[in-house]
Amino acid sequence: MGRYFTPIDVIEFAVRERVARITLNRPDKRNALNAAIVQGLHDALTEADARDDVNVIILQGAGKDFCAGYDLAGVYAGRKQEAEGGAQDDVPYRTSIGTFDNDCWSLEYTQRRTMALFDLHKPVIARVHGNCLAGGTDLALMCDMVVAADDARIGFPATRANGTPPNHMWFYHVGPQWAKRLLMTGDSLTGRDAAQIGLVLDSVPADALDGAVDELARRISFVDGELLAAHKRIVNLGMELSGARTLQRLAAESDARAHLSQGPRRTQFKADMAAHGLKEALKNRDAPFGDGMVKFHRPTE
């Protein structure tokens, strides 16, 4: 392959006509994130950024979903500090457990790898279909552009009892009111509604998604890489001047702090996990919210 990326089962990497296509490849797990897929994604992004034959990158998921979030089954079935905190399965950890700083360290470890999407010189388009939830939004919203299927489901349901997004680009996409609306309920949006409020660039019928993403990537790919880097970096520097990079550090710290909550909903979630397992805990967490979707009270077009 290349200098940086050794192909692994959970990531597919291909280059054709100036476009690198990186695919999260755990379809049987709905492309849930664990340490291997996060590290493999980081390495693939580094490879694409270094190659002279790549001008633009598409990030997508295999199977029915873009990414359904972090692999909670691995987290909550694993080490004690992971169950109490927010570390992802198999992330390196310190010998002491259960502290705020260790939880924060683990969250930042993962954040440094997913922030590559923001830091790359080359633009990244997220192709979102199916579920794009929790950790899936950590990836998609770090990309330069997001194109979604109309029926995609985008949100962060874990904010109801488990924490706050450790990567936070919500404010920069939709502003304070919608960011609060989505995070304070954990409700999700369809791709179509997400486009209406600016959370994604555009949405199209599911059967037109490949064509829309490929055409956007093709058009971008005709521009020289040096110019694309200049365009991306000046816009991202504008976000940094608005606090975007500092906010990521605060987001990880806030998520770690939220994990220390002894409130009734988080306490109940952990009790359900211990007594009945992840599936029942998620069911009980989400039951009061019905279908969990944002409902607009007037036409969105």
Please report the pLDDT score of residue 32 as a whole number.
95
User: How far is residue 162's CA from residue 290's CA, in Å, rounded to a whole number?
Assistant: 18
Cα–Cα nearest to 83, from 268, 262, 270, 251? 270
Superfamily of domain 11-261: 2-enoyl-CoA Hydratase; Chain A, domain 1 (3.90.226.10)
Please report the pLDDT score of residue 272 as a whole number.
93
Please report the pLDDT score of residue 297 as a whole number.
85
- The two tokens of residue 118 are 């923001």
Tens of pLDDT, residue by residue, the chain (301 residues): 566 666 679 999 999 999 999 999 999 999 999 999 999 999 999 999 999 999 999 999 999 999 999 987 655 544 343 434 444 444 454 444 578 999 999 999 999 999 999 999 999 999 999 999 999 999 999 999 999 999 999 999 999 999 999 999 999 999 999 999 999 999 999 999 999 999 999 999 999 999 999 999 999 999 999 999 999 999 999 999 999 999 999 999 999 999 999 999 999 999 999 999 999 999 999 999 999 999 998 765 5
Q: What is the dihedral of CA 174, 176, 181, 186, to 10 degrees?
A: 70
Cα–Cα nearest to 111, from 165, 156, 30, 49? 165
| 26, burial (CB in 10 Å: exposed 0-12, middle 13-18, buried 19+) | buried
pTM for this prediction:
0.91
The order of strands in the sheet holding 131-133 is 131-133, 153-155, 188-190
Q: How many CB atoms lie within 10 A of CB 33?
A: 28
Please report the pLDDT score of residue 88 as a whole number.
42
By three-state DSSP, how is residue 162 classified? coil
Left, alpha or beta for 130 (phi > 0: left; psi -120 to 50: alpha)?
A: left
What are the backbone angles phi and psi of residue 256, rounded to the nearest 5°? -60, -40
SS3 content of the chain, % helix, strand, coil (to 5): 50, 15, 35
Enumerate the β-bridge partners of residue 206: none
Where exactly are the structural domains of the chain?
Answer: 11-261
Amino acid at 117: L
